[in-house]
Amino acid sequence: MFKRLLLVAAVSFAVGQILVFGIRVAQGRSLFPSFEANRRSNHIEDVLRIVNENYVREVDASFDKLSDAALNGMLRSLDPHSEYMSQKEFRDLQAETSQEFGGIGVQIEMRDGSLIVVAPIAGTPGERAGMMRGDLIVRIDDRLVEKISMDDCLDLLRGHPGSQVILAISRPRTGETFERTIVREVITVDNVHDVQMLTELIGYVRIIQFGERTGDEFAEALKVLDNDGMQGLILDLRDNPGGLLDAAVDVAEPFFDRGELIVYTEGREQNSRQEIRSKNNHPRRDFPLAVLVNSGSASASEIVAGALRDTQRAVIVGETSFGKGSVQTILPLRNNDAVRLTTALYYTPGGETIHGEGVDPHIPVTLSAADDRKLTIQRNRMDGLSVEEFVEQFGFEPIPDRQMGAALDALRGLILATESLRVTKRAAGA
C-alpha cells in the first residue's frame, strides 16, 4: 500500500512538472494570449447573435452593421487616431495620400446648404465644361444637393475615371440654370501653393498637406525662388493636418546634411527606436528660414517644424502646434478593409515628444478665433478675387496677417545679420 502511494505521488509530481514545463513553453510562445483571444471572440460572437436576434429594429441589427460598430468602438477606445476602415474608407485614404482620384476637378464648399464652386482646377473636366467660380451645384445625377451632406456630395462627384456624372448648375451672376454631363478623369492635386517672392529677398511657400509628390513639388518651388534671387524663406505650415512621413522628411531634408537625424520613433517594445536620417546628397541650404505654425498644424507638419527648431535651422513663428505625434500603421485585412493602428510615437532630434505637447514657437503670435477664421479664408480664397469681390462674397475686408508680419520681420533681421557676418569675415580675411 505504501509503495502504491509513493507511485501515485511520483506520477503526480511528474505530471505536475510536465504541466509547469508546458505552461512555460506556452508563455514563451505566446500561446495563452491566442487562447484568451479565442475565448473573448466567442463571447463577442454570443453578444452579436443575441443583439441580432432580439433588437427591436431588425434593420439596425444586421451582422455587418454590428460587427463594423464593434470594430470601430474597439479601436476608438484606444485613441482618437486608431480606427477600423471599411473597404470604401481604405480606398479613399489611398486616393488621398496618392494625391490622385477620379473626379471632375473643382474645389467646392458647402455654405448655408448650397454647394458652391470655389474654383475649377486648370485643365480638368470641370474647367473644360465651363464651370466657373461661384456656380452652385444644385443636383448631382438624381440627388438634390440640399438634401444630402458634403461627404455625400464628394462621394457622388468622385468615381471611376471614364464614368459620367450629370450636374444641374445655377449661375447666380447671370441667373442661368443648366445641365452639364461631365466625364470623370484622374485628378492630380498640388499640395505646394502660393510660391512667390514677398520682397526682393524673401520667398514664400505654403504646403497644405503632405502627399506622395509634396517633396518633388517643394524642390521645384525652391528652384523657382532661387532663380528669383531668394535669400530667405517663409515656409507656411498653418492649418496643414499632416500626411505622409516620407513627404515630411523630403521637405526637411534640403536643410540637413547627409546623415543628420531628422526624426525618430519609439514603440512599446524594447529596442524599437527607428531613426530617420537625411539622405541629402547636396550641400544643405543654410539661408534664413521661418516656419509658420498654428494649432491646425499637425503630424507631418510638426515633424518638419520640430526638426528645424531643434537643430536651429529655422525660427518658428505663430502658435503651439496641434500635438499629434503618433505613428499610425495601416494594416490591411483579408476583406480589403483595414485597421489604422497607433504603433509608435514621434520624437524630435532633441528627444522631445510631439504627441500631446506640440511644437512651441520661438516667436509667439496668438490670433483671436475671429481673426484666425478670416485669415484662413483669405489664404484659401483671395486668389483671383479683387478686394471688392472678396468683401461681397465673404462679408469682411481682408485683415493684416500678424503672424506673417512677424516672420517677415524675423527674416529681415536674420538676413541683415547674415550679411553683416559675411562682411566681417571678408574683412578679417583681408
- For Cα atoms 230, 231, 232, give the angle at the middle one, nearest 5 degrees: 95
Q: Residue length, the chain?
A: 430
Question: Phi and psi at residue 297, in whole multiples of 5°?
Answer: -85, 120
Tally the C-alpha atoms within 13 A of residue 82's C-alpha that lie toward its C-beta: 13
Cell of 353: 515628444
Please indicate whether residue 425 is annotated as part of the active site. Answer: no
Report how far apart the first and last C-alpha atoms of the chain are (Å, whole number).
110
Please indicate whether residue 324 is annotated as part of the active site. Answer: yes
Say which of 135, 250, 310, 401 is annotated catalytic: 310
DSSP single-letter state for residue 285: P
Contact 384, 132 (CB under 8 A): no
Contact 375, 266 (CB under 8 A): no
Please indicate whether residue 286 is annotated as part of the active site. Answer: no
Contact 294, 321 (CB under 8 A): yes
Say which of 278, 299, 321, 326 is annotated catalytic: 299
Cell of 139: 443636383
Give the bridge partners for 264, in sequence order: 275, 347
Q: What is the CA radius of gyration of the chain?
A: 29
Say which of 301, 324, 372, 401 is annotated catalytic: 324
Helix (H) or strand (E) holding 156: helix 150-157
Contact 377, 254 (CB under 8 A): no
Give the bridge partners for 276, in sequence order: 263
What is the set of active-site residues? 299, 310, 324
